[in-house]
Structure 1
Amino acid sequence: MNSLLKLSLLIYIVLIFLSCNSQDKKDAADFFLKANVALKQNNYTEAIRLYDEAIDKNPEFPDAFLNKGIALMKTGKISDAREVLTEAIRLDPALVQANLVRAESALRLGDFNAAAEDLNKISKEYADSSKYFLAHGNLMEATSRTSEALADFDKAILLDTKNVEAYVNRGAVYYKLHSFPLAKKDFESAIKLNPAQPEALNNLGLIATNNKAWNEAIFYFDRILNSNPADPLALNNKGYVLIQTNALQEAKKLIERALDAQPDNGYALRNLGLYFQKNNEPDKALNEMNKAIELAEPVELLYGYTGRLYLIKNNKAKACETWKKGVVLKDSIAIEELAKNCR
């Protein structure tokens, strides 16, 4: 074969390769755009499938990895999302949005050091970003730096007065601090922007519950359940209100549905215990309360209620022992009952 023919064949092969490579990238871009539409429509499963198609056509497509990571986060596959986002960053270290989303994934996985590392890397690029200060505020709250969390949420809202999640999360901090008027104001701001925002509606229901405004509380919980009849928090919290208003059988049904969805929900176990107590079944009540205690998670008034059950069963020593533990956890019923019954 002469050298001219060899050169012609080589050029032909290179042109075919470039043509195939160019077509793959075009196909990848088409899949990517279709996936973005599915993502915007909250069709996360389809979006993930289409991003996979894009990545299959072009394995070095950092934006496809980023958006796939976002879709995985939306479906609760946080560990998978983190791996995909790490690949996006490997392909394009300048893709700082991937660091922001990966920080959120690390936060949800409880890896606070990794979250802090990602956020520190992009702090200059995101100096005027409401989303950044929201994520940083979430990190501060998760690491018990409450005043810094509030400052971050303030900044997030200042930068974007329509940042619904910032209102919800700042309100949650105020709620934890028992600054209920400030919390209520933030939750109301959130539902003005998004009338179906479940966390804000749930917390407004809890504030009404604390005020013993039972009808108002049910109004908020029903707004959640109208959109999502299986929402376990709303089911349980409405169940608690129904116990207080002596609608016991309906309360039991709702709490049991909450426990079907979340068997280790300490509040639902406590509330089922309250149902049995109101139904004059103290042994069953104690059983549920102790299940909640065994979870070793904070459940408001749990030790106060449990101590009362021991007192009903004439076990004053155990009641006082339980209330003493509750006092350490600042359980208001435990504090009151210990002072009244245990000298």
Structure 2
Amino acid sequence: MGNFFTSLFSSSKAATPEEEKAKSDQKKFDILKYDGVRAQKMGQVAYAIKCFTEALNLQEDFETMTYLVAAYTVANKAEEALEVLNRMVELEPDHINTRLTRVSVLFMLDKDADVIADCQHVLELEDTNHLAWFLMGKAKRTTADPLGAIADLTKAIALKEDFTDAYLMRAQILLSMSQATEALPDVEKAIELAPEEETTYLLRGRIHEAMGNLDAAAADYQNTLELNPFNDEAALLTGNLLIAQERLDEAISFFDEMIDLKPEFAKAYAERGRAKNLKGDKEGAFEDLKKSIELNPEGDEAQKLEGQHTNFNDMYKGGIF
């Protein structure tokens, strides 16, 4: 019997120092990872990043990398997020969500040309991925390939018929190519799909204006302002349309209202000054121009003035308005 117990206990060997360290590291890793997850859920992003980073120093874990990328993105640390994503792609080159996440970060960093390769890889794995077609079209649009962008967006729409953003982007590209008539059906479809989205009305207004349908354009700009009274672009387009129609008093009154609503609206002062100048009110125009530059010393008006004489009449000769 004594030999039996001696044999039993001698068969269970004590853990080696390496095994003890591995066990300790695993415990530390688990604590850091889940502390990071809890911190991230509570909005403690800096602490979450610290936890995830230290956890990854102990163990290269794909899931933890995903959490770290999300935390870096929330913290506006796109370069750091990209570094982690690059490693994730090395580890799992065919992981579609990782590729698409990297695409989003590349857009944030204005590395649009690098987007196309990731989208193409996704499409090699899954050619019905409508989001990859859309994102590739977006990248081609910004890298001077409008026809390629239209082709990709068309494929995205064929795969997802209610893809509002794809219709909008295709309409924007067509308008930029002076094909307003062809752009109109796309923006009409986008409005049908998202009737409360202000940007759809704004785009349709620009399309109508390009087609010479000025009343329809004005109505759409007004629709945009009803959805969002603080939409600067809609306000400027409305006022500029009134100026173009030589309805100068209406333009001035309109910009009065916009400035009352948003006193720091520098461009509204500049455009009101332009309307006043066309009416012959040089003094009023000068005051508005001066106010615009005070509010936005780096704006277009200040840039136009650079190197010119400060005499007001000379400013107009320089094409300020």
* Coarse TM-score class (shorter-chain normalised): 0.5 to 0.7
With the length of structure 2 as denominator, give the TM-score of the two structures.
Answer: 0.65
The higher radius of gyration belongs to: 2
Letter in 2 for 1:187: V
Contact 1:68-1:81 at 8 Å conserved across structures: yes
CA displacement at 1:148 relative to structure 2 = 1.3
With the length of structure 1 as denominator, give the TM-score of the two structures.
Answer: 0.62
Distance 2:21 2:314 in 1: 87
CA displacement at 1:121 relative to structure 2 = 3.7
Counterpart residue number, 2:3: none
Distance 1:240 1:75 in 2: 39
CA displacement at 1:312 relative to structure 2 = 12
Distance 1:176 1:147 in 2: 12
Contact 2:85-2:98 at 8 Å conserved across structures: yes
CA displacement at 1:122 relative to structure 2 = 3.4
Counterpart residue number, 2:307: none
Residues 137, 217 of structure 1: CA spacing in aligned structure 2 closer, same or farther, 3 A cutoff?
same
Letter in 2 for 1:95: H
Counterpart residue number, 1:180: 180
Give the paired residue count.
Answer: 288
Counterpart residue number, 2:203: 203
Instruction: Give 1:55-74 correspondences, 5 Å limit.
Output: 55=52, 58-59=55-56, 60-63=60-63, 65-66=65-66, 69=69
Letter in 2 for 1:119: C
CA displacement at 1:256 relative to structure 2 = 9.2
Contact 1:240-1:251 at 8 Å conserved across structures: no
CA displacement at 1:5 relative to structure 2 = 9.1
Letter in 2 for 1:125: L
Contact 2:171-2:186 at 8 Å conserved across structures: yes
Instruction: Give 1:2-21 correspondences, 5 Å limit.
Output: 7=14, 13=20, 17=24, 20=27
Distance 2:15 2:315 in 1: 97
Letter in 2 for 1:199: T
CA displacement at 1:181 relative to structure 2 = 3.4
Counterpart residue number, 2:189: 189
Task: Deviation per CA, 1:26-85: give whole Å up to 9, x if none.
Answer: 8379649x85xxxxxxxxx94957964873585344355446646766887654543453
Distance 1:220 1:197 in 2: 10
Distance 2:263 2:77 in 1: 22
| Residues 1:220 and 2:228 are matched in the alignment | no
Report the more deviating stretch, 216-225 or 65-74.
65-74
Name stretches of at least 5 consecutive residues in structure 2 with no aligned partner.
Answer: 1-8, 294-298, 305-311
Distance 1:199 1:74 in 2: 25
CA displacement at 1:233 relative to structure 2 = 2.6
Counterpart residue number, 1:304: none
Counterpart residue number, 2:277: 277
| Residues 1:162 and 2:165 are matched in the alignment | no
Residues 171, 249 of structure 1: CA spacing in aligned structure 2 closer, same or farther, 3 A cutoff?
same
Residues 194, 74 of structure 1: CA spacing in aligned structure 2 closer, same or farther, 3 A cutoff?
farther
Report the more deviating stretch, 251-260 or 80-89.
251-260
Which residue of 231, 249, 252 maps to 1:248? Answer: 252
Residues 101, 224 of structure 1: CA spacing in aligned structure 2 closer, same or farther, 3 A cutoff?
farther
Instruction: Give 1:30-109 correspondences, 5 Å limit.
Output: 31=38, 35=41, 46=43, 52=49, 55=52, 58-59=55-56, 60-63=60-63, 65-66=65-66, 69=69, 78-79=78-79, 81-109=81-109
SS at match of 1:124: helix
Distance 1:80 1:198 in 2: 34
Name stretches of at least 5 consecutive residues in structure 1 with no aligned partner.
Answer: 36-44, 297-308, 323-343
Distance 1:157 1:105 in 2: 24
CA displacement at 1:154 relative to structure 2 = 0.3
